[in-house]
Amino acid sequence: MLGMTGRSRFTSPWQALGAAWLAWAGVASATPAAQLQCQVTYAGTTHTVLADPVQDPYPVPSVDIGGRFRFKPIVVGTAQRVDRVLIYAYLVDGAQALPIHQAKFLPPFSASPQSLTGQQHLYAGPLERELMYSCTLQGATP
């Protein structure tokens, strides 16, 4: 970068590299990437499960919740545009996971972070075990 005198404003290439990185970071932070943040509670333990946008929802793994449930939030789209949000919950029964809940959310989404799902209560199994979750979508473009 040249100053008004025609000479470089930086005394070393490291300063120039640092300035370039700071400029890039400022642009990147101006448009936050979309992310789904879910608080999932079972048996008094709360897990934070994050989901970043993906193009293909099928390979996204589910997350173990207390050995009794599996939880799978999916954000389909890009960092700047969310096409849909999918949430799946499964009851673990022996060697298999039985689907107990499926939810789909479509645009438009609010630009400000707020609860997408509200507080959800799911009951499953012979003892009616309770799984609770609430998800917030952040950084979505309306």
pLDDT in tens, 10-21: 455 555 555 554
Q: Burial level of 26, CB count in 10 A (0-12/13-18/19+)?
A: exposed
Q: How confident is the model at residue 141 (pLDDT cuts 50, 70, 90)?
A: confident
How is the chain classified by DSSP, letter by letter?
-B-TTSSBS-SSHHHHHHHHHHHHHHHHHHSPPPEEEEEEEETTEEEEEEE-EES--TTPPPEEETTTEEEEEEEEE-SS-EEEEEEEEEEEETTEEEEEEEEEE-S---SS-EESS--EEEEETTTTEEEEEEEEEES---
Q: How confident is the model at residue 120 (pLDDT cuts 50, 70, 90)?
A: very high
- Say if residue 23's pLDDT is above 50: no
Cα dihedral 45, 103, 112, 27 sign: positive
For the entire predicted model, the pTM comes to 0.77
Structure confidence at residue 138 (pLDDT):
93
Tell me how far CA of residue 104 lies from CA of 32, 95, 134, in angstroms: 23, 27, 14
pLDDT digits (tens, 9 = 90+) for 52-91: 999 999 999 999 999 999 999 999 999 989 999 999 999 9
